[in-house]
Amino acid sequence: MERGSILRYSRQLPLIGVKGQERLSSSTVLVVGAGGLGSPVLLYLAAAGVGNIVLVDRGYVDLPDLNRQIVYDEDDLGKPKAEAAAERLRRLNSTITVTGYSMDVMDDSFEKLVASTDVVVDCLDNWPARLRLNDLAVRYSKPLVHAGVWGTYGQVTTVIPGQTPCLRCLAPGAAESGGGEVACPITGAFICPVIGFTPAILGLLEVSEAIRLLLGERPVLAGVLMVVDLNSMEFTKINVKRRSDCPVCGRTGSAP
Show which residues are catalytic: 184
CA–CA distance from 67 to each of 41, 43, 70, 71, 181 (Å)? 16, 16, 8, 11, 18
At 70 the three-state DSSP class reads: coil
Q: Which residues pair with 148 in a beta bridge?
A: 155
Neighbours of 224 (CB within 10 A): 16
Residue among 20, 22, 16 nearest 2 (CA): 22
Is 77 buried (19+), middle (13-18) or exposed (0-12) by CB count in 10 A?
A: middle
DSSP structure class, residue 227: E
Which segments of the chain are extended strands (E)? Answer: 28-32, 52-56, 97-101, 119-122, 144-150, 153-159, 182-183, 190-191, 224-229, 234-239
Degrees to nearest 5, angle at CA 125 with 50 and 210:
25
The β-bridge relationship of strands 52-56 and 28-32 is: parallel
